Amino acid sequence: MEVRKANPKDAELICSVVRRSIIELCTADHVNDPAVLDRWLANKTPENVLRWIADPDNTLLVAGEGGNVLAAGCVKTSGEIVLNYVSPDARFRGVSKAILRSLEHASKAHGRLVSSLDSTLTALRFYADAGYARNGPPIEKHGLAAHPMIKPLQR
């Protein structure tokens, strides 16, 4: 498995991984409510992924293996992780940890001392195990609760 910067050729695969991850792995969050899923998935299109890749404020990474995209993550130059999804086919293989480490490394490369994110209920334990702590009460995103989290980054 390798983690690398995403390129425009990855857009369709990234979109598919993100959408499948939300639909199949985040059921504790969307509880199969079509209205919540529609809101959450609305901007998860190949066209938007292309915009995210082109945005100079973003570092969009993929973890891949044999030409397949197994996970995708995006961090802003501010240190905020705004995307981190794994394919259901790659869950519990260390792919999410590899992407997260790479996103944190990108934050440090931008001079950030802190990484922040809004976690789903599904990912709370994953982020807590990676050293993130809650940073305030839940907020509303896409019609569901998002949990602000923060982690100091070591130099």
**CATH number for the domain harbouring residue 140:** 3.40.630.30
Q: What's the farthest any 2 CA atoms get from each other in the chain?
A: 43
Q: How high is the pLDDT of residue 67?
A: 84
Structural domain that includes position 24: 2-152
Q: How high is the pLDDT of residue 92?
A: 82
Count of domains forming the chain: 1
pTM for the model: 0.93
**Residues 6 or more apart in contact with residue 42 via CB below 8 angstroms:** none
Q: How high is the pLDDT of residue 155?
A: 66
Per-residue pLDDT of the chain (155 residues; tens, 9 = 90+): 899 999 999 999 999 999 999 999 999 999 999 999 999 999 999 999 999 999 999 999 999 988 899 999 999 999 999 999 999 999 888 899 999 999 999 999 999 999 999 999 999 999 999 999 999 999 998 788 999 999 999 86
